[in-house]
Structures are given as structure tokens and as C-alpha cells.
Amino acid sequence: MATIESLLETIKKNYPEADLTPIQEAYNFAFKAHETQSRASGETYINHPLAAAQYLAEMKLDKPIIIAALLHDVPEDTGVSLETIEENFGSDVAGMVSGVTKLGHIKYRGVERYIENLRKMFVAVAQDVRIMIIKFADRLHNLQTIDALPEKKRQRIALESLEIFAPIAGRLGMGEIKGQLEDLSFKYTDPENYAWINKILTENFEQSKTHLEEVRLETEAELKKSGIKIISLKGRLKHIYSLYKKLLRYNKDIKNVRDIVALRVVVETIADCYATLGIVHKLWHPVPNRIKDYIAQLKPNGYQSLHTTVLCHDNQVIEFQIRTEAMNEEAEYGVAAYWHYKEQNKGTPKQIAWIKELEEIQKNAMANLSDIENLKIDFFQNRIFVWTPKGDIIDLPEHATPVDFAYAIHTDIGNKCVACRVNSLLSKLDSSLRNGDMVEIIVDKKRKGPNPEWADFVKTRSAREHIRLYAKSSISVWLKDRLPFTNKGKEKSHQ
């Protein structure tokens, strides 16, 4: 259980020169505001904001975010106003608290409320991504203490966490938060399959932990002998929900999943990453077509790492993930890592580009379920990088088609495309693109517009809207040319 002492200690460890007085003052303020309250579990209420703040402190976030986390429930659950918070802690903290308070009113109530909930989420992310980061910490602790709630409420919180919060965390590159949100929610949304997957993970770990430790020690010794400084080298188990989704793709055959157990190597530099990969391949036999270089070609959400699957003792399979410390923090905490690394002038996180897109999306009303499904494909599905012949990179959702690619380049390219080449070979316009494909769009400048049937197979909202918009305008022109009106707008008589 988090305490103010553990919180201050964590902040001091991350920022040795930090003045901890504002943190202590925020804690005292929140403690007094919540003094007479307790949670459904019976514990003192202050434990909740403390837990959220502790989680953010462990992510190495800065003081304003941690202060806002300590205060995030004060306006909604006590008699203290936002104005009072602003007077005591400034407008930046008050703005974050206000945003979290507004998100607190979101409740999962089926499709109609889901549409409105997503819109509110997008507004919050576009306004200040730190609001969502605080909300993730808040939700993680709520899920960890959810057993004290009635079953119906547990189901609602778990569903909205799985359907709304986790996908947004994933899109922001916050892989560890996404995994925790999914696993904690999955336990309540589908307890039977949760138990099944948990059993698989436990059995696999028990069977492989001795072998894994042997491989870890041999790898560590070889890296040290080569002069590579190891920041950390430890095993990790695949997240429960992630494994469940992967098993569904493989007809529930566990033999097809190679990354249940992995060794994660964190080293100092990018050069050390590649040197480590060479040493791993010298020690163990690499599995063909299982080497992935996400450092040279990072994932669209900013993820960077080297992955390789190798055969070790007795032909047992182990995946190695090799990365720097900065890559590791960005893989786990995504956009949140920016507030730690901005102190070291590391620049703006790649995920900010997606947040800018949300500013446009949230301005347009989402009216029905099809809008939501399209949006989930556009923004929450896994992403791929596809190349133009000139070497430009286009970021698309997984399974996007050449038509989606064409519209991502320019509306006119999409409207006039007639064929395509994928990796120099002619391909169908409705084929699914894969990460790393090089796509060339062939256009007919005389073509007036897209085939309306393309709307049935494109995957991106942008492509679908352009196709439908053209179809709608074409019908309008057709009708205008054929309606019996004179130049003065008067109807002609019919013979």
C-alpha cells in the first residue's frame, strides 16, 4: 500500500534536486478534504489518490502531474471547489484536475453512451494528454480494488476499461498500462477464459523457469565478457489478455505461440543493442524469419526494440527483446515517458501526432455504431508502416488496402487510382498490406472519381468518407442534369 513516505522517496529517487514541499502540501490538502470518507472496501479514501500518485511517480512523471493525481477526486467527492485548488496549486494543476473530474462522469451504457464516451475521451486527450495519464492510474487502482463493488458495477467498470481505456493507452504507446488494464478487466468480463489463459501461463512458466534462468545466466556472463554494460536482464511473461487474443488467431493451439516467455535485455546504447543481438545469435540458434528490427524501423506508436526468437537447450524456444533504457521506458509508458525525458531535451514524443489528429476527430459528431467501428479500426487497431517508391513512410491500420494507402497520400491519388504494385508486383486494390510493403499507386488522370464499391473493403475512415462523398456528389449532379427544370427554375410540363 502506498504511503506519503514511499511517494516522496520515489520522487526523490527520480529527481534528486526536487523540492518535495508542494507534494506534501497536496497530500495534506487531499487528506483533509477526504478525511471523513472511506472506500467501498472500507479502507481510508486517501489510499486511492495516493496509489494513483505512486504509480505516476514510478513512471518518473513530474511534480504537477503527481500533485494533480493526489487531488483528482477532491472537486467531485468533497465540498472543495476547483477555484480553491487553483488558488492553492495553480492553473496547470487545476486544469488537469478539472479534466479528470469531467471524465469521471463517463459510464459504460452500451452503444449510445459509448459514442459519447469516446467523444469525451478524445476531447480530454486533445486538450491535455496528462489528463488521460492520470485517469489510467486512477482506473488501474480502481480495478485492483474492484472486488468490493457489486457485480453489476464490476462488470461496467471492467467493460469500459477494456473497450475504451485500454485501446487509448495502446495508441499512446503505453504498452504496460494497456496490458495491465486488459488483464485486470478480462478477469471480470470473461472469468472462464481468464482462468484458462492464466493456467496456461502458470504451467508454461513452471515448466520453463529453470531453463530460462540457465539461459539468462549464460547470456549475462557472455555479455559481461564482451564488455557490454547490462542495465537489466530478466524474464517476462506475456500478458494474459494479449495471449488470449493471439491464441484465438491460432485456433487456440498453444504450440503456435512462441513468445509466452521472453528475456528482456536493457543496455546503454543502440550500438550495444546490435552487439547484444550478435552475441545472442552466437550463443543460441536463431529461428528463421523471427528477427525483427524495430529500432531501424520503429512501430507507428513509437515502439523500438530488437526481437529475436532462438532455440536454446533441448531446442526450447525463447524470445529475446533487446533495447536501451529510454526505449524500455517508452515501450512501457509511451507518451508518458516524455515528461521524464523532456528534462533531458529528448524532444516531442511521436504519439503527439496522433493526439493532433484527435483534435480534428473530436470536432465531428459520431452518430452511429458504424462510425465507432470505423474509428476503432483507424485509431485502436495495430498499425503498420508502408513505404512509397520515394521512401516516404505512411502510417496505416493493420490490414489496410492500397486504396487506403492512396487516400493517405492525397485525395486526388485515391480518386484516380486504377491499379497498384506492392513490392514491384501487380496487386489487387482490395489486398491487405503488410508492415514494410512498398506500394506504388497507378493513376488514370482522366478518371473522374473512385469506384463506390471500394467503400466495402477500405479500412480507414478517411478513405471511406472520400468515396462516399464522391458518390453522393455524383448522384446530385446526375439528378440535377435530368430533372425537368427550366433555366428560371420553373418546372416544364410533361407531354
How far is 221 from 233, CA to CA, in rounded Å?
A: 11
Q: Which residue among 9, 35, 76, 373 is the active-site one?
A: 76
Q: Nearest-CA neighbor of 46 among 21, 71, 65?
A: 71
What is the longest distance spanned by two Cα atoms in the chain? 98
Q: Tell me, yes or no, if 77 is annotated catalytic.
A: yes
Residues 6+ apart with CB under 8 A from 314: 211
Task: Give the separation between CA 230 and CA 267, rounded to whole angstroms.
Answer: 5
| 165 phi, psi to nearest 5 deg | -70, -50
**CA proximity to 323, closest of 344, 340, 307, 346:** 307
Candidate list 25, 77, 92, 395, residue with the active-site label = 77
The label of the residue with cell 476547483 reads 82
Burial pattern 135-150, b for ≥16 Cβ within 10 A else e, equals bbbbbbbbbeebeebe
Q: What gap in Å lies between CA 211 and CA 313, rounded to an integer? A: 8
Q: What grid cell was written down for 402?
A: 492500397
CA distances in angstroms from 87 to 84, 93, 414, listed in the order given: 5, 10, 53
Q: For residue 76, indicate whether it is catalytic.
A: yes
Residues forming the active site: 76-77
